[in-house]
Structure 1
């Protein structure tokens, strides 16, 4: 079996039941399997070796009904529009139409925080997301500085992006270059404690580039029990990624 006239390869994509299916090779796998990637809203078909990728592709096509059911279970996309009330780091925030540059207005006089932006449709959504990214960079940057100080390391450079597969990633400092941590801006839509856990998690990687016992000891020393936060992200991650789609 081939794709576009060539043999199938790790990372190739096909479409089954209107859904993207990514082919992956995992040499530790014992059999061909399918799994739902909730954040990317796609299916991953895994094969133990490159030669079994055609089998993985055929298996995905044979399970078209299962794939359609799993995708249907995902939360619907959440378009952004004036009048919505979001929860940003656990705080209610109302979206409003406004003039001039999009901005964040802190809570005052008994009113919740607000985001005001011009435009409509996709233009309005882009403006709101830009404000949310800035808010995420500010809050997560502050928490990163706190945890870096607690761990006795230099604060890394912090950036935010719309990562699909990870809530955060850490790159250690090398050859005179400072360490850096990148977060998904969608953490702004999570409860503060959950986003704070991700910051602690990534900062712990500044000391341990693994997920071994010493790594988890650092994380727990910073934020205590991590299981509730990890479970929240597994349960609600797809909803966060559906926002603004």
Structure 2
């Protein structure tokens, strides 16, 4: 039994100041520490070993005020409802009530792009997010094809999901099979150039499954400097993850 109470395991969670605190082991850590995971909207309490996870839990409870302040800084989700205006890949899109299947209506001379969906409350929100996921898959598949061709790599399978930790992930192909890339659909809420950078980043992994110099050379050849896009995601990622969440 830990001197700080019950024994804890890597990944255990507790509630402090109304926030979720996840206990994690990081073998290279030299001390117990706390950080805010903005994408997940939770606090991570890190310890160098399993033996010190109880200490990490106790430290989190001692820092309840700090935790409450950090959670209060996170973006608050706005209800998804007709009349709302979004930026989708940098394009202004208006949400409207409609009938039938939820759909994307391209911009015309007289109207901005629109998403129409029926229902209300959570039902309306789910329908809108389904359209956004389809739009994300369409655009990111096109950009993936573009960058895979520039790199001379076979076109990978492309999918979108609601990953909280990564904007994209790549698996190399094996035995003559194409690789696969999975993106966060929430990239649809980012500027086009930022989402385009993520597509280039993941396609570069088709050739280099690492973040070494050759990998970054591929990325730079495709989209130029990565830093502005990476900084935008760090600064605004929590807002994208908050969209549509209860």
Q: Could you state the TM-score of these two structures normalised by the residue count of structure 2?
A: 0.96
Q: CA deviation at 1:110?
A: 2.6
CA shift digits 1:32-74 (9 cap, x unpaired): 1100000100000100111111111111111010000000011
* 1:206-225 to 2 correspondences below 5 Å: 206-225=206-225
Give distance in 2, aligned partners of 1:141 and 1:35.
34
Give distance in 2, aligned partners of 1:15 and 1:174.
43
SS in 2 for 1:7: coil
SS in 1 for 2:182: strand
Structural RMSD (CA): 1.2
Q: CA deviation at 1:179?
A: 0.7
- Tell whether the 8 Å contact from 2:6 to 2:54 is kept in structure 1 after alignment: no
SS in 1 for 2:203: helix
Report the counterpart of residue 239 of structure 1 in structure 2: 239
Which 10-residue stretch deviates more, 177-186 or 88-97? 177-186
Report the counterpart of residue 98 of structure 2 in structure 1: 98
Report the counterpart of residue 111 of structure 2 in structure 1: 111
Report the counterpart of residue 186 of structure 2 in structure 1: 186
Q: CA deviation at 1:6?
A: 6.5
Q: Is 1:58 the equivalent of 2:28?
A: no
SS in 2 for 1:107: coil
Q: CA deviation at 1:177?
A: 3.6
Q: CA deviation at 1:176?
A: 4.2
Q: Give the number of aligned pairs.
A: 243
Please, which runs of 5 or more residues in structure 2 have no aligned partner?
A: none
Report the counterpart of residue 11 of structure 1 in structure 2: 11
Give distance in 1, aligned partners of 2:239 and 2:31.
30
SS in 1 for 2:86: strand
* 1:6-155 to 2 correspondences below 5 Å: 7-155=7-155
Q: CA deviation at 1:244?
A: 0.8
CA shift digits 1:154-183 (9 cap, x unpaired): 011000011111110111112344211000
Q: Could you state the TM-score of these two structures normalised by the residue count of structure 1?
A: 0.97
